[in-house]
């Protein structure tokens, strides 16, 4: 059941990003609410779930954004996997965790995307442009990751309470 919740959140995040956030660029970068969602899944449920959910959300992002299919999928899977590495070693109560995690995972997903586009010969942006856009997105995501992480964490707990651990 919790994955349905994540899917709905990811769909809402994709819609919001497509409709709104793309019009609010910061240094060439835009806010990506999907990264905090993937991060939350990874932190709460580990690398496997994080990678799977991240791949699904990334693919959905690819479909909706019009970017080459597979790029967002690889980036999301990597971000989810990386977030899941901190499942048991990081304190979920840390105030800085969502913000720092959001920023770090943004940089990580950007690295995957840039690498992927280089592999298929589609990246024409300079390193400076890419760095600036990534920095902007990282700042954005660090901010929005905090509320998204806390809301999703509460939702996740509510779903567990409602449907049991198997949900």
Partner 1 sequence: MFPSSAFVRRRLLVWGLLLVIALVVLTAQMRSPDGRRIGWIGTAIEAVLAPPAVVLSRVSGFFADAWSFITEIGTLRTENQRLTAEVARLREENARLRPDAQENARLRTLLGFKQQLPYRSLAARIVGRDPSQWFSTVLVDRGASEGVARDDPVITSDGIVGHVVETAGSWARVLLVSDSRSAVSAVVDRSREVGVVVGQGQTLLRITYLSRDADVQPGDVVVSSGLGPIYPRGLPVGTVVSVSHGTMFQDATLRPASDVGHLEDVLIVLRGGSLAR
Torsion of the alpha carbons at 48, 54, 59 and 61, rounded to the nearest 10: 170
Nearest to partner 1 of 1, 11 (CB atom): 11
Nearest to partner 1 of 66, 164 (CB atom): 66
Nearest to partner 1 of 4, 120 (CB atom): 120
CB distance 141 to 74 below 8 Å: no
User: What is the nearest approach in angstroms of partner 1 to the Cβ of residue 128?
Assistant: 25
Mind giving me the DSSP string for 39-84?
HHHHHHHHHHHHHHHHHHHHHHHHHHHTSPTTHHHHHHHHHHHHHH
User: What is the nearest approach in angstroms of partner 1 to the Cβ of residue 97?
Assistant: 19
User: What is the nearest approach in angstroms of partner 1 to the Cβ of residue 119?
Assistant: 8
| Residue whose structure tokens are 């024409």 | 124
User: What is the nearest approach in angstroms of partner 1 to the Cβ of residue 131?
Assistant: 23
Nearest to partner 1 of 47, 141 (CB atom): 47
User: What is the nearest approach in angstroms of partner 1 to the Cβ of residue 142?
Assistant: 23
By C-alpha distance, which of 101, 87, 84 is closest to 47? 84
Contact positions toward partner 1, by CB under 8 A? 11, 14-16, 18-20, 23, 46-48, 51-52, 55, 58-60, 63-64, 66, 68-71, 73-74, 77-78, 81, 84, 88, 116, 119-120
Nearest to partner 1 of 119, 158 (CB atom): 119
| Residue whose structure tokens are 């499942």 | 87
| CA pair distance 68, 115, nearest whole angstrom | 13
């Amino acid at each position: 059941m919790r994955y349905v919740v994540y899917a709905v959140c990811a769909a809402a995040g994709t819609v919001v990003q497509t409709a709104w956030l793309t019009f609010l660029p910061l240094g060439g970068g835009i806010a990506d609410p999907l990264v905090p969602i993937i991060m939350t899944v990874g932190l709460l449920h580990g690398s496997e779930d994080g990678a799977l959910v991240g791949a699904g959300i990334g693919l959905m992002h690819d479909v909706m954004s019009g970017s080459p299919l597979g790029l967002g999928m690889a980036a999301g899977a990597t971000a989810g996997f990386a977030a899941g590495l901190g499942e048991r070693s990081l304190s979920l109560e840390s105030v800085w965790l969502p913000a720092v995690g959001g920023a770090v995972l943004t940089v990580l997903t950007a690295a995957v995307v840039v690498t992927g586009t280089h592999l298929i010969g589609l990246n024409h942006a300079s390193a400076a442009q890419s760095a600036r856009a990534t920095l902007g997105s990282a700042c954005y995501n660090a901010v929005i990751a905090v509320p998204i992480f806390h809301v999703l964490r509460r939702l996740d707990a509510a779903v567990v309470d409602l449907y049991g651990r198997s949900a």
